[in-house]
A and B are shown apart, each in its own frame.
Chain A
Amino acid sequence: MKKEFTPRITSFLCKWCTYTGADLAGTARLQYPTSIIPIQVMCSSRVDPVFLIKAFLSGSDGVLIGGCHPGDCHYETGNYHARRRFAIVKSVFESLGLESQRLKLSWISASEGPKFARVANEYTEEIMELGENPTRKNIFL
């Protein structure tokens, strides 16, 4: 039963780096699971903490934010803001007893197609070990 489980990982990808990197992974025909559901954002800093919580409560088994490497941000400093916010949401998750491993932030540049595929594969495996998002069964709030 557990083998059949394909997680859903809502992935916020910044337009300039990670989204381009994900495209490159495809162009190079690098294979990764269908679990990754991409949502393009202009910048990783656009990812409001609420998005993470909302995606989680909507039943995503994992949430991935992909942004430019530190120093590479198309908008100068957006990824630093993203990193800070991410850290806070992660600690909020921990303090609420939620599995903070379900949130992931990764810096993937436009030329890192292989890294995108690797992160997609590894993170999917990690989430598969965690199992389904408990909010699908439990009622929160």
Chain B
Amino acid sequence: MKNKKNSVLVLGAGIAGIQASLDLAEMGVEVHLVEDTPTIGGRMPQLDKTFPTNDCSMCILAPKMSECVRHPLITLHIMSSLKDISGTPGNFICSVIERAKYVDPVKCVSCGLCEEKCPVKIEDEFDVGLRKTKAISRYFLQSIPSEYTINKDHCLYLTKGVCKLCSKVCPTGAINYEDTDKEIELNVGAVILATGIDPFDPIGFGQFGYHRYKNVVTSLEFERMLSASGPFGGHVERASDGLPPKRLAFIQCVGSRDISIDRNYCSSACCMFAIKQSIIAKEHNKELEATIFYMDIRAFGKDFDKYYDKAENWYGVQFKRSKISEIKELPDGSLDLKYTYENGDIQYETFDMVVLSIGLQPRAGSRGLSEDLDIRLNRFEFCRTDTFHPLETSREGVFVCGAMSGPKDIPESVISASGAVANAVKYLELERYDPSVGSEDIKEKDVTGDRPRIGVFVCHCGINIAGVVDVKDVAEFASHLENVEHSEDVMYACSTDCLETIKQRIEEHDLNRVVVAACTPRTHEPLFRDTISEAGLNPYLFEMANIRDQCSWAHMNEPEMATGKSRDLVEMGVSKARGLVPLLRLPINIDPEALVIGGGLSGMTSALAIGDAGHDVYLIEREDVLGGNMRDIFFNFDGTDPQQFLAETIEKVENHDRIRVLPGSTIEEITGFVGNFRTAFKDSTGKREELTHGAVIVATGGNEHETEEYLYGSSSRVVTQKEFERMLHEEEFPPGKLKEVVMVQCVGSREEGRMYCSRVCCSKAVKNALELRKRKSRVNIYFAYRDIRTYGFAEEYYSELRDRGALFFRYTLENKPEVEKIRPDDPDSRIRVTVFDPVLEKDVVIDADLLVLATAIDAPEENLELAKMLKVPLNSDGLFLEAHVKLRPVDFATEGIFVCGLAHGPKDMSESIAQAKAAGSRALTFLKKKSILAEGTICEVRTDRCSGCGYCEEVCAYTAIEVDPEEGVAVVNDALCKGCGACVSTCRCGALDLRGFTNGQLFSVFDSLEIEASEGIR
């Protein structure tokens, strides 16, 4: 008997854990998110900016954090750890230890008085020791949940039995020194592990002088220095003298690619991290000079090379390929670097500050965790996975995502998180559900046409507001405003009893609008909206005045002025509230089927993910057979067999009762929107058919670049890596002896016309070279390369190849290898390759029996047409452009459409599988719902005013507004509108308005300001 549980435990609440939890919860799965620290967010909040867009890390993460904490299906277990998993997949019992917090989260109102009074200063973990925090604190200022916790190792009362200051000042009696650790048992269907990574600690690296020299810092410390919310407010200063550094050095691969410390893997993210930091540092201080010392620049991700190029050529960051042999501290705290170029030249240079680009390593305690949970690790102690099962641990029903299974950047972590969800849901029994059901339980009061009757509640927030603002005065002031029927001051507006009070007052005074003057709507508006909704009011009949975060806290020394401003803010709130109208969130029907475009590895994997979850899938493929590019791949580093896996996958797809394969078909038209797409296609016989479906997955793949360089096409001895791999597989080599083999990398990549790295070619060439060695041990292998980009665990194979005697010559774009046929008229002639060796500083000539070209991956030209049909964007390279390069790597801005595989960008099979599963799971977040609710704050059109000019259509990023060609007026698609209002302020006819932020409502806010101005109150 298998009693499946529709819940999942997610361990680790970094970006991967958050994404996995949100995806699951959106499918209707109950989630237990277990996190070790007192906050969710993981590493991302420590970052100032993210590459390659320089997005502010907190800006993009904060909305996800609050979505996660507010989701009714997600239960947070902070300061908790997973001890054991027993039971069977589908029905696990997880034992979780919740450590004592010593502060009652229900009572704590995050006022911060305790922290102010706490006498114990300790190192701040979040700011990597660059500043002090207290024994009672929040993990960081924007922590979620925001409640305080006590560090029991440092608290005076808990360690020595004295002090208790925090409990004396706490206004709500939230401190509980008697709190104890609790063990709880959670019954779940599957487990997703996402414990992330630790930064490498360079303390043992004597030669770099970390901790000995004051001005040598790690990249994570430097990131906190750059951060506006960091310990120095974004001003980078030298620890020795507080001066801003002018000459900055970055040393790459500290704790990565290093056999001597058993870290023979590449941490994958640090090159980009250093490039980003050098750019940001230069933006902070234009005169700053930054130099990056490196072995290879591994800018292998989407648009990374453009960023690298920008750093070098636009910002003037110096890149020096060299090895640092010594760092000496000078008397003024500056640092003298001794470094050696590849040709043996030794140089000395002085810098003001040195940043060590530290690698990523498995989290402390990984070994113990793996033993507790009975999962296997790889030899570097990352979670073990294989090429075709990148998200599965060795234990059935337990999945892994994020950097726990190997170094990853943010988008890869997000992708793997969504992907792991697709695996986990196989162990659950999910029904489609209707999110609009249940919300009708409360009968909403019809207030149309009623005179506004506004209730105002002014919060003291303990002394947070009342300590500065005269709250009673503000409440009294509000009571005289027009339409205000009731006004009172309350101690904590968000406390449970006060929420009850608000509901009572609505009843007593027949209120139909509510204004709460308290903290910020960002965190508390949803709570108050729910409250008035429980009292029978439409949730949009609510307005908040932020008199704490943006008033009392910011004007602590001007109580009178702050009171005046609070009055203004309340009056503005009341003015806006007066004009508020109930908004409806209309349900939009979602068709349960999905269309997957492209029948390669990615398309098939997506189709299986959705099909296995019980949804019908149409898998459309242009060619007559499935398999795509994978048909030409025969080997993997880990010894797994691609062709066997492909055959199994095709069989699964073709025999799947939910998947309808449509080979040899071409799409003619796609119309509709999320939940309601309609696609017309021609099948292999030329017959036209129409499909309806709720979601679309684009998995159109990529092509091998057709080169004309290096004699390709005119010699039988010049082949591409793809052809070479088949050659190895079939063991059919060119006639004659095979002695000298030359591999040229970056053919077509990273140069004019294709300014991107094709990502897989370095690893592929290394893999094929090793395969060749297996078959013909005496062959000489030469590489002509620009940077070897064997990121992650492929690094090990690269060094193996070097150890086995392959020779590597680095070339530059200005000095590409030259090739000629030894006998020009003979197509089978051997090829003479001349390549400049920067080590010897002279040309090397090789008469090659075989020349293997690592040709670029091209975006198919057909992408353009498909992009037009779907109304989704392509980037300048013709690759599909996702909604957000960091946090929405498989979504398009247009809802209901997703992308995966090579269509998104070059990637290997493992990464394609992870992304294909992610796309499947993102699609399921829609397909698992019978309907979705459109936003309430969306745009509306007054058709009598609309001239059909179409300017709104141009500015809309979501294709949510279009001019109806027949009616000649703009029409808003409620399902797609995100409510930004860009179109409203573009409209020349005043035909558009944004519900909840209408022109009228905003004007009345100005009016309330104006009346006062003329009366000269202020």
Contacts and interface: CB of A to CB of B under 8 A. Distances in A.
A130 interface: no
B943 interface: no
B90 interface: no
Contacts of A134: none
A111 B229 contact: yes
Given A71-B55, A78-B980, A113-B228, A26 B1006 contact: no
A43 interface: yes
B981 A45 contact: yes
A39 interface: yes
A45 B985 contact: yes
A34 B568 CA distance: 11
Contacts of A72: 53, 55-56, 59-60
A75 B1006 contact: no
A22 B994 CA distance: 24
Nearest to A49: B985
Contacts of B556: 29, 31
A105 interface: no
Interface stretch (B385-393, B506-514, B771-779, B1008-1016): B1008-1016
Interface stretch (B318-326, B331-339, B559-567, B829-837): B559-567
B1003 A54 contact: yes
Contact of B546 (A38, A69, A76, A110): A38
Interface in A26-58: 26-34, 36-43, 45-51, 54-55, 57-58
A29 B561 CA distance: 16
A38 B556 CA distance: 17
Nearest to B57: A111
Contact of B520 (A23, A59, A114): A23
Contacts of A77: 955, 957, 982
Contact of A112 (B141, B228, B1010): B228
Interface string A7-21: 010100001110110
A59 B565 contact: no
A58 B1013 contact: yes
Interface string B537-559: 00000000010111101111110
A9 B318 CA distance: 44
A33 B548 CA distance: 14
A60 B554 contact: no
Nearest to A32: B554
**Looking at chain A, what size class is its interface with the partner chain?**
35 or more
A19 B141 CA distance: 15
A17 B60 CA distance: 9
Contacts of B1014: 59, 136
Interface in B930-979: 937, 955, 957-958, 978-979
A81 B986 contact: yes
Nearest to B544: A40
Contacts of B546: 23, 38, 40
Interface in A63-114: 68-69, 71-72, 74-78, 81, 85, 109-114
Contacts of B985: 45-49, 51, 81, 85
Greatest chain A CB density within 10 A among B548, B985, B997, B1002 is at: B985
Nearest to B56: A109
Nearest to B563: A34
B554 A30 contact: yes
Given A8-B1018, A37-B565, A76-B893, A68 B59 contact: yes
B105 interface: no
B550 A38 contact: yes
A110 B59 contact: yes
A127 interface: no
Contacts of B555: 31-34
A88 B234 CA distance: 32
B56 A41 contact: no
B553 A20 contact: no
A43 B979 CA distance: 9
B1009 A8 contact: yes
Given A8-B1009, A46-B994, A39 B1002 contact: yes
B48 interface: yes
A49 B988 CA distance: 11
Contacts of B1007: 58
Contact of B59 (A16, A41, A45, A51): A16
A85 B982 CA distance: 11
Given A39-B1005, A54-B1003, A111 B1018 contact: no
B671 interface: no
A134 B952 CA distance: 35
Q: Which residue among A16, A26, A33, A111 has the maximum number of chain B CB atoms within 10 Å of its CB?
A: A111
A43 B981 contact: yes
Q: Which of B229, B561, B997, B1003 has the most CB of A within 10 A?
A: B229
Contact of B937 (A26, A42, A68): A42
Interface string B558-588: 1001101100110010000000000000000
Given A16-B63, A30-B554, A85-B985, A42 B980 contact: yes
B999 interface: yes
Contacts of A37: 565, 568-569, 572, 1009
Interface string B452-468: 00000000000000000
A39 B1007 CA distance: 13
Contacts of B229: 24, 28, 111-114
Contacts of A71: 53-55
A26 B519 CA distance: 10
A26 B63 CA distance: 19
A40 B1013 CA distance: 21
Contacts of A111: 48, 56-59, 227-229
Contact of B1013 (A15, A42, A109, A136): A136
B53 to A, nearest CB: 5
A33 B141 CA distance: 22
B59 A109 contact: yes
A45 B954 CA distance: 13
A55 B1006 contact: yes
Contact of B1009 (A10, A22, A38, A48): A10
Contacts of B8: none
B663 interface: no
A19 B142 CA distance: 14
B1018 to A, nearest CB: 7
B709 to A, nearest CB: 35
A24 B142 contact: yes
A60 B1018 CA distance: 12
Contact of B984 (A23, A48, A110): A48
A76 B142 CA distance: 24
A29 B553 contact: yes
Interface of B: 48, 53-60, 62-63, 141-142, 227-229, 233-234, 520-522, 546, 548-551, 553-558, 561-562, 564-565, 568-569, 572, 893, 937, 955, 957-958, 978-982, 984-986, 994, 997, 999, 1002-1003, 1005-1007, 1009-1010, 1013-1014, 1018
29 contacts: A8-B1018, A19-B520, A20-B58, A22-B550, A23-B520, A25-B550, A26-B549, A32-B554, A34-B558, A34-B565, A41-B981, A42-B980, A43-B982, A45-B981, A46-B981, A46-B984, A51-B985, A54-B1006, A57-B1010, A58-B1006, A60-B1009, A71-B53, A74-B980, A78-B957, A109-B56, A109-B228, A111-B56, A111-B227, A112-B228
Given A41-B981, A43-B980, A72-B55, 11 more contacts: A22-B549, A25-B550, A26-B549, A30-B554, A37-B1009, A42-B980, A46-B982, A48-B999, A68-B56, A78-B980, A136-B1013
- CB-CB nearest 9 A-B residue pairs: A46-B981, A59-B1013, A26-B549, A109-B56, A76-B957, A26-B553, A45-B982, A48-B985, A58-B1010
